[in-house]
Structure 1
Amino acid sequence: MSLFGRAFADGDRLDVAGTPVTLRVNRRARRVSLRLDRTRREIVATAPSPRRLPEAAAFARERSAWIAQRIAELPDAAPVHPGLVLRVFGEPVVLRTGTGRANWTAAAGAEPASIWAMGEGEGYARAVILILKRRALAVLAERTEVYAAMLGAAAPSVTVADAKARWGSCRPGLRGGQAAIRYSWRLALAPFEVADYVAAHECAHLLELNHGPRFWAHVKALVGEPAPHRAWLRVEGARLHAFGR
């Protein structure tokens, strides 16, 4: 038992002001702290050691007003419905009601691209998201192939998922096997230049499994200065994750 209450473990979750709070141990931390995880829409309470997790939990409860304010500042959930106009890799796309299997029609003249899907509510949203995943995979796989070739690396396999913590991840090829890169499909909702930067970033990991100077030199050689794209994701990432919620 602790001065601050019951014992807690790394990864435990609390509810404070109607908001999930996850307790984490970071031995490099010098003090108890709180931060907002914008993509997960939760608060992370960090302690320097397991024995100080109760202190982190108590600190989160003390800061309930701050927590409520940070959550209130997040973008609202963005439901999917016919008539909604999205930006897919920067280009306008209209969501429309159709019959049969969901599909994508390219822009033609003054008409923007469209996603056609049947149904309503969650069923309609799932059909639209399926098309967005396919579009994300097609574009990101093509950019990955381009950048892997520019770096002189073997082309990796490419998949998309709905990752909460990362926009992309790279698993190196072991013992001569094929490397694998996975992207968040929500990058389809970002400007093309931002998604393209993430592809270059992950491809650079095919050569450098770190974020050292040589890694960033590869990224800059492919897409130039990464800072604006990284800043865009920090500011707008929560909005991308709110889509379809």
Structure 2
Amino acid sequence: MSPFGRPLADGDRLEVAGAVVNLKVNRRARRVSLRLDRTRREIIATAPSARRLPEAAAFARERASWIAERLAELPSGAPVLPGMTLEIFGEPVRLEQGSGRARWIEAEGEIPARIVAMGEGEGFARAVTLIIRRRALAVLTERTAFYAARLGAPMPKVTIMDAKSRWGSCRPGPRGGPGFIRYSWRLALAPFEVADYVAAHECAHLRELNHGPRFWAHVKDLVGDERPHRAWLREEGARLHAFGRA
């Protein structure tokens, strides 16, 4: 029996083995299946039709041990502490505790770049995250300007978000004017080449609002073979989303 007092529907969410199970209908699917969404840290239970969603829910409960094992494989969150060294766009950056406003200090000689922030615990983590977000906005805005110019498109407005499902999104502007692109600030924790690919990907949407052949032709023209970057995000995305989560 449905726990909702009604028939199960596409998008309903259950809890199994401590995990969220998201029920999805995919009419192209041939069977009921389960997969782990590493970025969202949830299980997707897919059914070919709404009528078979109870079967998908029952299958998830039967595979509770498998679900628990997959969750245990995900990277766990860790506190952000002074003394840590992060990689921001592939550059080593040391976190230091200090007085005054949180700030980014560029690398000098053999001394790596630093983020200096005051406070302890969550306060220190929030200050560090703010600086990383600012760095992400600056770098991704510059790369967006570069690729928009390559495509002959008006420079879009760039903002930063913390979405769990997307690394970026693009919305066209009115009447062919400048569009709007949003990026996950967590791309700053990825290698520069990976974040740069996402910028190229979103800029390609300024010309093609789809993922058809012409869209991918734009991407390949901008960054070459995109497959290694997409693979990196699939494999490492969960680690980026775990950053700063206790």
TM-score, structure 2 as length reference:
0.95
Matches within 5 A, 1:1-12: 7-12=7-12
- Find the aligned partners of 2:16 and 2:124 in 1 and give their Cα distance: 33
1:9-28 maps to which residues of 2 (within 5 A)? Answer: 9-28=9-28
Residue 53 of structure 1 deviates from its aligned partner by: 1.5
Q: Does 1:138 align with 2:138?
A: yes
Paired position in structure 1 for 2:194: 194
Unmatched 5+ residue regions in structure 1? none
Q: CA RMSD in A?
A: 1.4
Q: After superposing the two structures, state which structure 1 stretch, 36-45 or 19-28, moved more.
A: 19-28
Q: Which amino acid aligns with 1:123?
A: G
- In 1, the alpha carbon distance for the partners of 2:31 and 2:169 equals 30
Distance 2:226 2:207 in 1: 18
| Residues 6 and 54, structure 1, Cα contact 8 Å, conserved in 2 | no
Asked whether 1:148 is paired with 2:148, we answer yes
Aligned equivalents of 1:66, 1:176: Cα separation in 2? 49
Partners of 1:186 and 1:128 in 2: CA distance: 12
Deviation at 1:47, TM superposition (A): 1.6
Q: In the TM superposition, what is the alpha-carbon distance from 1:178 to its structure 2 partner?
A: 2.3
The separation in 2 between residues aligned to 1:46 and 1:78, in whole angstroms, is 32
The residue type paired with residue 100 of structure 1 is G
Match of residue 127 from structure 2: 127
Question: Equivalences for 1:168-179 in 2 at 5 Å?
Answer: 168-179=168-179
**Aligned residue for 1:237?**
237
Secondary structure of the structure 1 residue equivalent to 2:87: strand
Q: Percent identity of the aligned residues? A: 77
Q: 2-side partners of 1:70 and 1:137: how far apart?
A: 33
- Name the SS of the counterpart of 1:20 in structure 2: strand
Give the number of aligned pairs: 243
TM-score scaled to structure 1, two decimals?
0.95
| Alignment of structure 1 residues 157-176 onto 2, 5 Å | 157-176=157-176
